[in-house]
């Protein structure tokens, strides 16, 4: 059992999370030419807050997470909304293979900071994107390490535009774009949330 299994039960109850993924979803819709023919990967999908926002614009979404609890919540939500185009998949993003030339787009919200080795992970994402496909990742901009009350499993205290651009380029992505799409208010501070976009 990982800590996200427990958190899954109350994940959607925090209004800032719902609001944040809505703003990320809006920015993706505005900046990525989503199509009803597209097969999409949402990595670190959680309970699907971003996936449910994007799902009406595409054909299908592979919803990957390594927390059984998160995926169960996602399945419950999909069943009660009668949504058949979201496929929950239990995988460890760092250890497991994600295939080759599988996806038209890859999206993600607030998960990259949980990935230890960003260089090899982005190369894995590049491999599983189709030529011309889009990568759109949202996460925290560089922070002091006080965003999470527990930093267990947090391998990066956010990311700067410069370091992300380097990671994207190193993996082979082109047309790098970096937008601030939200500011989360917490601990009497504002934590900017970016959306970084690249193209294969």
For the bound state, the minimum distance from the C-beta of residue 131 to ligand SAM, rounded and expressed in Å, comes to 26
Task: Give me the 67-106 binding string for ligand SAM, x by CB under 6 A, dash otherwise.
Answer: x--x---------------------xxx------------
3-state secondary structure 80-128: HCCCCCEEEEECCCCCCCCCCCCEEEEEEECCHHHCCCHHHHHHHHHHH
- Check residue 150 for interaction with ligand SAM (CB under 6 A): no
Helix axes 161-171, 118-128, angle to 10 degrees: 50
Q: Which stretch binds ligand SAM (CB under 6 A): 31-39, 65-73, 172-180, 184-192?
A: 65-73
Going through 7-85 in order, the beta strands assigned E by DSSP cover 39-43, 60-65
Q: 16: Cβ–Cβ under 8 A, 6 or more apart, which residues? A: 184, 185, 186
Residue 88 backbone class (left: φ over 0; alpha: ψ -120 to 50; beta: rest): beta
Task: Give me the 37-56 binding string for ligand SAM, x by CB under 6 A, dash otherwise.
Answer: -------xxx--xx------
User: Which parts of 104-123 interact with ligand SAM (CB under 6 A)?
Assistant: 109-111, 114
Nearer to ligand SAM, 45 or 197 (CB): 45
Nearer to ligand SAM, 44 or 198 (CB): 44
Nearer to ligand SAM, 93 or 135 (CB): 93
Q: Of the candidates 99, 98, 96, 92, which has an alpha carbon nearest to the alpha carbon of residue 114?
A: 92
Using CB under 6 A, list all residues that contact ligand SAM: 4, 17, 21, 44-46, 49-50, 65-67, 70, 92-94, 109-111, 114
């Amino acid at each position: 059992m990982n800590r996200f299994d427990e958190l899954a039960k109350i994940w959607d109850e925090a209004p800032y999370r719902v609001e944040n993924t809505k703003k990320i979803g809006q920015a993706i819709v505005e900046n990525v030419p989503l199509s009803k023919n597209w097969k999409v990967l949402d990595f670190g999908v959680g309970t699907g807050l971003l996936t449910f926002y994007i799902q009406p614009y595409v054909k299908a979404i592979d919803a990957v997470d390594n927390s059984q609890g998160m995926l169960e919540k996602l399945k419950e939500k999909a069943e009660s909304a009668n949504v058949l185009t979201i496929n929950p998949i239990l995988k460890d993003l760092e250890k497991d293979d994600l295939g080759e030339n599988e996806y038209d787009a890859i999206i993600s919200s607030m998960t990259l900071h949980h990935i230890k080795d960003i260089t090899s992970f982005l190369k894995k994402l590049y491999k599983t994107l189709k030529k011309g496909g889009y990568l759109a990742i949202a996460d925290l901009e560089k922070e002091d390490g006080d965003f999470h009350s527990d930093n267990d499993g947090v391998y990066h205290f956010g990311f700067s535009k410069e370091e992300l651009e380097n990671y994207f380029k190193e993996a082979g992505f082109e047309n790098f774009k970096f937008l601030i799409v939200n500011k989360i208010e917490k601990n009497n501070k504002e934590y900017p949330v970016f959306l970084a976009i690249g193209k294969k």
